[in-house]
Amino acid sequence: MARPRKPLLSRAGIVAAALALVDTEGLAAVSTRRLAAELGVSGPSLYNHFHTKDEILDAVADTVVGEVDLSMFEGCTDWRAALTAWARSYRAALTAHPNIVPFLAQGPGRRPAGLRMADAVFGAMVEAGWPVADATLIGAMMRYFVAGSALGSFARGFVGDPAAYDPSAYPHLGQAHLLPEHQQRVDEGAFEMGLTALLDGLAVRFVTPTRVPEGD
Amino acid sequence: MARPRKPLLSRAGIVAAALALVDTEGLAAVSTRRLAAELGVSGPSLYNHFHTKDEILDAVADTVVGEVDLSMFEGCTDWRAALTAWARSYRAALTAHPNIVPFLAQGPGRRPAGLRMADAVFGAMVEAGWPVADATLIGAMMRYFVAGSALGSFARGFVGDPAAYDPSAYPHLGQAHLLPEHQQRVDEGAFEMGLTALLDGLAVRFVTPTRVPEGD
DNA sequence: ACCTGAACACCGTTCAAGT
DNA sequence: ACCTGAACACCGTTCAAGT
């Protein structure tokens, strides 16, 4: 076939196909040959659009992070409400594409959407009155929690096999771990509990250290 | 050579070599052939001791999680102090072997050390007076945060290249991200800030719902 | 510029063959 | 029982060849 007069591939098309493959069959299923086959081309064709396979996965990760809503940070006055809404949107984006999370959660690297998100959180916290040093910590802290909750999902991380929970070895684990709907409720509950706890803790910190001695 | 009269390999030896390789060269460097070469044998020899490469990595992950101190949960009366000590030990174990964290943080699966840890946390929280449902949430929530902090490390997740932080695109990120010692301080600070916040938040929750109407 | 097939140096895993 | 080399079906990536 050689070069077609209209390109068969595009970066966006490759990324969409890669994301679909990651979602349906997992990260391990994404090989350059398999992905190319999915797109109806031969393996090396991808290298006309990306330098490496890793660059493709970076673009996939960036697409997912790009789905996170950041609008609550614009002209934000209530930092607590903004962080709450953002954390939920962030978690929703990750849990919609759980198989890419281990790759994505390692940090933004040089991915634009990840850096944009870090920038938005930091900027909004400073604007809301947080000291610069704290604003950095808040961004990191929230990222830890949200990424950890998507990655270490109870539902995905505990196997659904009774034999795995020998009651003599693990007297407290019980059989409840087996029920998928229970597991999902644990994930939701633990996320909301942690989110509330983190923000409560921040609220304590917000007033205290910013109180400056008044007067001469 | 065929079968030697004393086995050349052992599960423990393979796991130790694999962990060393993960630590020094990363998860991607661990191939069965490479690992076997490190041990002075040929690739397929490993299959006499493990069924799959994944089983080897599971054993490596279990070794790392096995390094976490759980002694603070024995006869624990102060749940807050116990969770604090445990979270720090947990984080220390993971940050000592950062390259295995993406694999490990996906959940305990059927790894004994991971299940033992989940069991210890849950049991201690119940013993300390937490409702069973909350104890499960606390275990998940803490796991999210600690694993997230080790995985999404600021120091490892942000690239150390000034060109990555175009100030017009990311007006708030600045150049501070470049300094490795600064990054490490951010990770430490964000971890401690989050830990305090989480436990403060839990403390609020602890007293409230367990208060039972007294009296006639 | 953009796709192709051939090729290179790798993979994980199976298996018959050796002791 | 435990190691070996050969073999299978894969990898990521390079590159000359085609239009």
pLDDT tens, position by position, A123-162: 999 999 999 999 999 999 999 999 999 998 888 888 878 8
Q: How confident is the model at residue B209 (pLDDT cuts 50, 70, 90)?
A: very low
Residues from chain A contacting residue B143 (CB–CB below 8 Å)? 148, 152
The pLDDT of residue B210 is above 50: no
Question: pLDDT: is B158 or B88 the higher one?
Answer: B88
The beta strands (E) that lie in A57-197 are given as none
The pLDDT of residue B48 is above 80: yes
A155-193 burial, b for 16+ CB within 10 Å, e for fewer?
bbbbbeeeebbeeeebebbeeebeeeeebebbbbbbbbb
pLDDT at B5: 84
The least confident of B58-72, B98-112, B159-173 is B159-173
DSSP structural state of residue A158: B
Question: pLDDT: is B178 or A22 the higher one?
Answer: A22
Angle between helices A79-96 and A53-66 in degrees, nearest 10: 130
Nearest-Cα residue of chain A relative to residue B144: A148
Q: How many CB atoms lie within 10 A of CB A29?
A: 13
The pLDDT of residue A64 is above 60: yes
The pLDDT of residue A51 is above 70: yes
pLDDT tens, position by position, A159-191: 878 888 889 999 998 765 666 778 899 999 999
Residues 2..41 of A with a Cβ closer than 8 Å to B: which?
Answer: none
Question: pLDDT: is A22 or B5 the higher one?
Answer: A22
Burial class (CB in 10 A: 0-12, 13-18, 19+), A88: middle
Answer whether A145 sits within 8 Å of B145, measured CB to CB: yes
SS3 B136: helix
pLDDT at A176: 59
Q: Which nucleotide is nearest to A54 (CA to C1')?
A: D12
The letter for the amino acid at A197 is A
Closest CA to the C1' of C6: that residue is: A44
pLDDT at A156: 83
d(CA A214, CA B197): 28
Name the strand (E) or helix (H) holding B192.
helix B180-210
The pLDDT of residue A67 is above 80: yes
Cβ pair A163, B110 in contact under 8 A:
no
* A90 shares contact with chain B (CB less than 8 Å): no
pLDDT at A63: 98
pLDDT tens, position by position, B189-207: 999 999 999 999 999 888 6
Alpha-carbon distance A40 to nearest alpha carbon in chain B (angstroms): 29
pLDDT at B180: 73
d(CA B171, CA B180): 20
pLDDT at B177: 65
Q: Kindly report the average pLDDT of chain A as a whole number.
A: 91
pLDDT at B3: 76
Q: Maximum Cα–Cα distance for chain A, whole Å?
A: 83
Structure-block tokens of residue B155? 């120091």
Domains of chain B are 11-64 (1.10.10.60), 69-205 (1.10.357.10)
C-alpha A58, offset from chain centre: 13
Q: In the predicted model, what is the mean pLDDT of residues B172-179?
A: 72
Residues from chain A contacting residue B152 (CB–CB below 8 Å)? 105-107, 140, 143-144, 147-148
pLDDT at B181: 79
* Nucleotides on chain D within 7 angstroms of protein Cβ: 1-7, 10-19
* B176 shares contact with chain A (CB less than 8 Å): yes
d(CA B81, CA A175): 28
* A181 shares contact with chain B (CB less than 8 Å): no
Q: Maximum Cα–Cα distance for chain B, whole Å?
A: 83
- Give the DSSP per-residue string, B105-123: TT--BT-HHHHHHHHHHHH
User: Considering the entire predicted model, what is its pTM?
Assistant: 0.93
DSSP structural state of residue B168: T
CA of A152 to C1' of C5 (A): 43
The pLDDT of residue B63 is above 50: yes
